[in-house]
Structure 1
């Protein structure tokens, strides 16, 4: 599948709120259709109207209820300050749905499960207007306080507004953890699944993709206190 890179990188929009009123800064890793895990996690974290919750992308594919995950995130955005980033799986889906790209790679990497969750009947117009608006709202990076957030990684020597979407959405940490970014801020990323279920913390970078769809955990971290919560898709919670 060819990749249609965005011409301009864009930070996502807040769904309300003034950043100076922040109470907690919470990041949530790759959800991949695991709605039950997301609901369990949100019940434990209980985000309030002054919290910022950053979701790192890959909401769809592989897990059993991608459509339900988007419903949960839309509802979440109505009660807290939600910042949602674009993952490579959203990119693959939207390339097929909106731009007519070949579907084979997307289906191979979890698109079948996504289509099933939307009760796919053969047409590519299966996204509701509300879900379309959610996908339109996704940004490529977010910066606040001493942290920045991307789906996958970053080029350490380039400002975030000059990064390629290849690096932000597709780079795997198995190819090497990048050095600290020139901004000096701590990076919070997902994308590279830690199959043992533990957060990867190398000081200047945290990776919180903990392999929920594969029997691992969905992770949320309060960056200011480093408290974390993890939920499995069968409803088990640990922190």
Structure 2
């Protein structure tokens, strides 16, 4: 098939990820770009990481770093505990790692180490977990923080007059830098959407898998979308990040 597929925020929902890849009939010929936030939410956070490590042995995979990945990485590597992280899914990751050996944890730390903050393909498409703030582009950011925390890029896209086009006065300079931008981080369920949603040239693929939504995948070229069941139905005895 030789497709390029972009996958939204997983948040520990391994059952949804497996279901999604089966529905999309993913083969080793497909390139997979994951937008981050693999952990914190459902009980399979650590198992998601193990699964992705194995998946990367047969598929070309690009793993972007999300804010939850950064926080879980800091805890695994340094024992750093952030109270807000614990309140927003971090405890589920701590619980998930209780059955893992030190050797397995070290393997996961290496996985987190190797994540990238953003990816730009040959056709000037940007893939990033959250966004960027520098008008000259992500390469000019002074700190990596916006790559996995920024919401202004998405909020700006939602506010743009649909009549504006690149080059028009008032069209944001940040958006003119790329043909297309693919993000996660801010669930589109917040604006009443259930599938990946486009605003300006940004595709938001986070469809609320951490809460009451589904896990989603999009073909970068055809824009065909695949989705899992609502993730909470796959983990009926859990609350996710609710």
TM-score normalised by length of structure 1 = 0.80
Matched, 1:131 2:108: yes
Partner of 1:214: 211
The structure that has the greater radius of gyration is: 2
Partner of 1:162: 140
Q: Of residues 92, 106, 129 in structure 1, which corresponds to 2:85? A: 106
Partner of 1:192: 186
Query: What secondary structure does 2:221 align onto?
Result: coil
Contact map agreement 2:76 2:105 (CA 8 A) in 1 = no
Partner of 1:96: 75
- Quote the Cα distance in structure 2 between the aligned partners of 1:166 and 1:227: 31
C-alpha spacing 1:86/1:160, structure 2 compared with 1 (3 Å): same
4+ runs deviating over 4 angstroms: none
Deviations 1:171-206 (A, max 9, x none): 125972253534232100000012242222014101
Contact map agreement 1:39 1:72 (CA 8 A) in 2 = no
Contact map agreement 2:133 2:150 (CA 8 A) in 1 = no
Query: What secondary structure does 2:175 align onto?
Result: coil
Q: Any residues of structure 2 matched to 1:1-239 within 5 Å, and which?
A: 23-119=2-98, 128-144=105-121, 145-155=123-133, 157-163=135-141, 164-173=143-152, 176-178=155-157, 179=172, 180-195=174-189, 196-232=193-229, 233=231, 234=233
- Displacement after TM superposition at 1:92 (Å): 1.3
The alignment's C-alpha RMSD in Å is 2.4
TM-score normalised by length of structure 2 = 0.79
C-alpha spacing 1:23/1:174, structure 2 compared with 1 (3 Å): closer
Q: Any gaps of 5 or more consecutive residues in structure 1?
A: 1-21
- Displacement after TM superposition at 1:223 (Å): 0.9
Query: What secondary structure does 1:101 align onto?
Result: coil
Q: Any gaps of 5 or more consecutive residues in structure 2?
A: 158-171, 235-242
Query: What secondary structure does 1:181 align onto?
Result: helix
- Displacement after TM superposition at 1:120 (Å): 6.1
